[in-house]
Structure 1
Amino acid sequence: MDLLTKTAESLWQVIAVGLLLGAGLPALFAFGLRLIGSVESGATAGSDVAVAGTRNRLAVFAGWACFAIVVIAIVTGILFIMADFLDHTFGINLF
Structure 2
Amino acid sequence: MLQSLLMVLGVGMLLGAGLPALFSLSIHFLSPTEDGTGASGVRRFVGWAFLAIVLVAVVAAILLIARERIEYFTGWDPYPFL
TM over 0.5: yes
> Which whole-Å CA distance do the structure 1 matches of 2:62 and 2:37 have between them?
40
The percent identity for this pair of structures is 37
| Stretches of 4+ aligned residues off by more than 4 angstroms | none
Asked if 1:55 is matched to 2:39, the reply is yes
Cα deviation, residue 85, structure 1: 1.5
1:31 match: 25
TM-score of the pair, normalised by structure 2 = 0.78
Amino acid at match of 2:53: I
Asked if 1:91 is matched to 2:75, the reply is yes
- The one-character-per-residue Cα deviations of 1:17-50 (angstroms, maximum 9, x if unpaired) are 1111110001111111111125276xxxxxxxxx
Cα deviation, residue 54, structure 1: 5.7
User: Is the 8 Å Cα contact of residues 36 and 63 (structure 1) preserved in structure 2?
Assistant: yes
Report the structure number with the largest CA radius of gyration.
1
Gaps of 5+ in 1: 42-51
User: Is the 8 Å Cα contact of residues 29 and 39 (structure 2) preserved in structure 1?
Assistant: no
1:67 match: 51
TM-score of the pair, normalised by structure 1 = 0.69
2:63 match: 79
Gaps of 5+ in 2: none
> Which whole-Å CA distance do the structure 1 matches of 2:54 and 2:69 have between them?
24
